[in-house]
Every structure is written in C-alpha cells, then in structure tokens.
C-alpha cells in the first residue's frame, strides 16, 4: 500500500490476510525532520476486518488520531 500524506506526516499502512479469510492492518507514521526521517513503528494497534480496504481504513483512522494528538501536544509521544 502506498504512503498517505497527512499534516506533514506520512502514514504507512500494512495489511495482511489472516488464516480465517479476514484482513489485519496497522500503520507506522513518519515525518522528515532536520535529523532525518523519524519513524514511529507500530503507531496503531492491529485492526481485523472482513476486507483489506476496511482494515486499512480503520488503521489509517487511528494513525490520523495519533498524528493529531502529537501535533496538539508535541511533548507527549506515542504510548
């Protein structure tokens, strides 16, 4: 899946099929800074859905919330 751009950040989704014909997805987020690219691996939890698109959409929605939280309070990093 391609990266998505949101407020100066890149959202990098990953989706994989499961053995029970469902899909699981999560996202990393990254941003370019003065010291290079800062990557937050596993920024979202795993989202299990019936289709690949649904799983990616759920994970990307969570990544957007994480980015908004970092922007709102830059001193707090992902838990």
Token reading at 44 = 């979202």
Q: How far apart are CA 70 and CA 74, in angstroms?
A: 5
Widest CA span in the chain: 44
What digits encode the pLDDT tens for the residues 27-75? 999 998 888 888 877 778 999 999 999 999 999 999 999 999 889 987 7
pTM higher than 0.95: no
Q: Which residue has the higher pLDDT, 1 or 15?
A: 15
CB contact at 8 A, 29 and 11: yes
CB under 8 Å to 47, separation ≥6 — which residues? 24, 25, 26, 55, 58, 59, 62
């Amino acid at each position: 899946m391609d990266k998505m751009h949101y407020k100066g950040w890149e959202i990098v989704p990953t989706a994989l099929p499961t053995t029970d014909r469902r899909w699981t997805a999560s996202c990393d987020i990254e941003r370019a800074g003065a010291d290079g690219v800062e990557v937050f691996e596993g920024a979202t939890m795993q989202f299990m859905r019936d289709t690949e698109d649904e799983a990616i959409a759920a994970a990307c929605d969570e990544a957007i919330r994480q980015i908004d939280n970092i922007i709102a309070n830059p001193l707090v990093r992902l838990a």
